[in-house]
C-alpha cells in the first residue's frame, strides 16, 4: 500500500491553476464587473479582428472560449463587457502568486502566468491544497483550483476535475475508475487532431489506448509518439518537480489586420516589422534565439506555421528579420491574409 491508500507521509505533486486568471485579474481591478460576462482580448473592441484571450465563467456559459474571434463572442453575448489585454498587469499578479507559494513548505515549478507544480512531502495533501488556496486568496484575492497526484500527469488532470475553485485527488488508486471511459483527448498531451487519428485506429477511449499494442502504436504513430500515447493512457508521468523560475521558451508578436492583406510587399513589410519587435524582446530577454517561426492566418480562418533553425543562436535583429522573411517565402500567398505572427525560440537552458 502507498501513501495514497494509508494516509502516511509521502511525496505528492500538486498542480495549482488560477481560475479564469486573466478575467479574474481584470475583475479584481474592476469589482463592478463581478458576476457579469467579461471577455478579454485585443484592444477590447469586439468590432476589431482579434481573438479572445480569456472569458469569465459567466461568458463561457454563452459558449465563448479562448481563441474565438471577438466578433463571434459579441454575437453570442452582446451584453458582455469587452476589455483589452494588459500583459504587464497579469505578469505582476502572477509573480505575487508564485512568491507567496514559495513561502509554503513546497518546491515550486512555474509553468506560466497561471499555473505551477508544487512538490511536497506530507501526510495530508488535501490540507496542504486548502492552505494553498487560502494563501493565493489572501495574497491576491484570486481563486485557484488544486489537483493532487502521485505524478505530474495525474496532478495536472486532477485540476480539471477540481475546477472551479476546488480540490481533487487523482492517483494510481482511482485512475481507471476516473479516466478509463473518457475520450483520449482528456489526456494531457493528446489534442483533438491526435484523438481523431487514434479514433481512426479504433482507439477512442483512454482504456482502449491503454490496452493497445505498443508495437502497433509505434508502427502507426512513430517509434516515440506511439508508445508514449499508451504511457499517458496508463497514467504514467514524471514525479520530479524542479525549483526553477519560469523561463519563457520563446518570444512572439502577432497582428490581426482590420483589412485583409493581399499585396506581397505589404505582407513582407509587416513580417519585417514584427521581426523587429521580436528582436527587441529577445534583447530584453538576454538570450539568443535558435529558431524563427512565422504564422500566417489566411481568410477566412485557416492558420499555417512554418519555422527554420538558425545557423547559430543569435539576437541580431537583421538576422532574425532575414530568417523570418525567408520562412515567409515558404508560404503560398495566394489568399488574403488576416493575421501575421513572428516567433523567436530560445536555446534550451544548459543542463546543470
pLDDT score at 30: 87
Q: Residue 3 pLDDT > 60, yes or no?
A: no
Tens of pLDDT, residues 130-155: 999 999 999 999 999 999 999 999 99
Q: Which residues pair with 13 in a beta bridge?
A: 119, 149
Tens of pLDDT, residues 17-37: 999 999 999 999 888 999 999
Give the contacts of 102 (CB within 8 A, at least 6 positions apart).
108
Domains, the chain: 180-233 (1.10.150.20), 250-346 (3.30.1490.100)
- Answer with the residue of higher pLDDT: 29 or 40: 40
Catalytic residue numbers read: 115
Question: Please, what is the average pLDDT of the chain?
Answer: 92
For residues 134, 34, 64, 270, the Cα torsion angle rounded to the nearest 10 degrees is -90
pLDDT score at 6: 52
Q: Residue 246 pLDDT > 90, yes or no?
A: no
Binned at pLDDT 50, 70 and 90, residue 88 comes out as confident
CA distances from 34 to 29, 50, 81, 176, 302 (A): 10, 24, 11, 38, 35
Tens of pLDDT, residues 283-324: 988 999 999 999 998 988 788 999 999 999 999 999 999 999
Distance CA 322, CA 1 (A): 59
**Centroid of chain to Cα 279:** 23
Q: Residue 7 pLDDT > 90, yes or no?
A: no
Average confidence (pLDDT) over 45-72: 92
Amino acid at each position: 500500500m502507498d501513501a495514497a491508500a494509508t494516509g502516511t507521509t509521502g511525496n505528492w505533486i500538486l498542480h495549482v491553476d488560477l481560475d479564469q486568471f486573466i478575467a479574474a485579474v481584470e475583475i479584481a481591478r474592476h469589482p463592478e464587473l463581478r458576476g457579469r460576462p467579461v471577455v478579454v482580448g485585443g484592444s477590447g473592441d469586439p468590432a476589431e479582428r482579434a481573438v479572445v484571450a480569456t472569458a469569465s465563467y459567466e461568458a463561457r456559459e454563452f459558449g465563448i472560449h479562448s481563441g474565438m474571434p471577438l466578433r463571434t463572442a459579441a454575437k453570442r453575448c452582446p451584453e458582455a463587457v469587452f476589455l483589452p489585454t494588459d500583459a504587464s498587469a497579469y505578469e505582476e499578479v502572477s509573480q505575487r502568486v508564485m512568491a507567496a507559494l514559495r513561502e509554503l513548505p513546497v518546491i515550486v515549478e512555474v509553468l506560466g502566468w497561471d499555473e505551477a507544480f508544487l512538490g511536497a512531502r506530507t501526510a495530508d495533501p488535501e490540507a496542504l491544497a486548502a492552505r494553498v488556496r487560502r494563501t493565493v486568496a489572501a495574497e491576491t484575492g484570486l481563486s485557484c483550483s488544486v489537483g493532487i497526484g502521485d505524478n505530474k500527469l495525474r496532478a495536472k488532470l486532477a485540476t480539471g476535475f477540481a475546477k472551479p475553485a476546488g480540490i481533487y485527488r487523482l492517483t494510481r488508486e482511482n485512475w481507471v475508475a476516473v479516466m478509463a471511459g473518457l475520450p483520449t483527448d482528456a489526456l494531457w498531451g493528446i489534442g483533438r487532431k491526435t484523438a481523431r487519428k487514434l479514433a481512426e485506429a479504433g482507439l477512442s477511449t483512454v482504456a482502449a489506448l491503454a490496452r493497445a499494442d505498443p508495437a502497433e502504436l509505434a508502427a502507426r504513430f512513430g517509434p516515440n509518439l506511439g508508445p508514449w500515447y499508451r504511457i499517458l493512457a496508463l497514467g504514467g508521468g514524471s514525479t520530479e518537480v524542479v525549483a526553477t523560475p519560469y523561463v519563457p521558451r520563446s518570444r512572439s508578436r502577432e497582428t490581426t489586420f482590420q483589412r485583409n492583406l493581399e499585396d506581397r510587399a505589404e505582407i513582407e513589410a509587416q513580417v519585417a516589422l514584427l521581426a523587429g519587435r521580436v528582436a527587441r524582446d529577445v534583447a530584453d530577454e538576454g538570450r539568443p534565439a535558435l529558431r524563427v517561426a512565422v504564422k500566417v492566418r489566411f481568410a477566412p480562418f485557416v492558420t499555417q506555421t512554418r519555422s527554420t533553425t538558425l545557423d547559430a543562436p543569435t539576437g541580431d535583429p537583421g538576422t532574425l528579420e532575414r530568417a523570418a522573411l525567408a520562412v515567409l517565402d515558404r508560404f503560398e500567398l495566394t489568399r488574403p491574409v488576416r493575421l501575421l505572427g513572428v516567433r523567436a525560440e530560445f536555446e534550451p537552458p544548459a543542463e546543470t
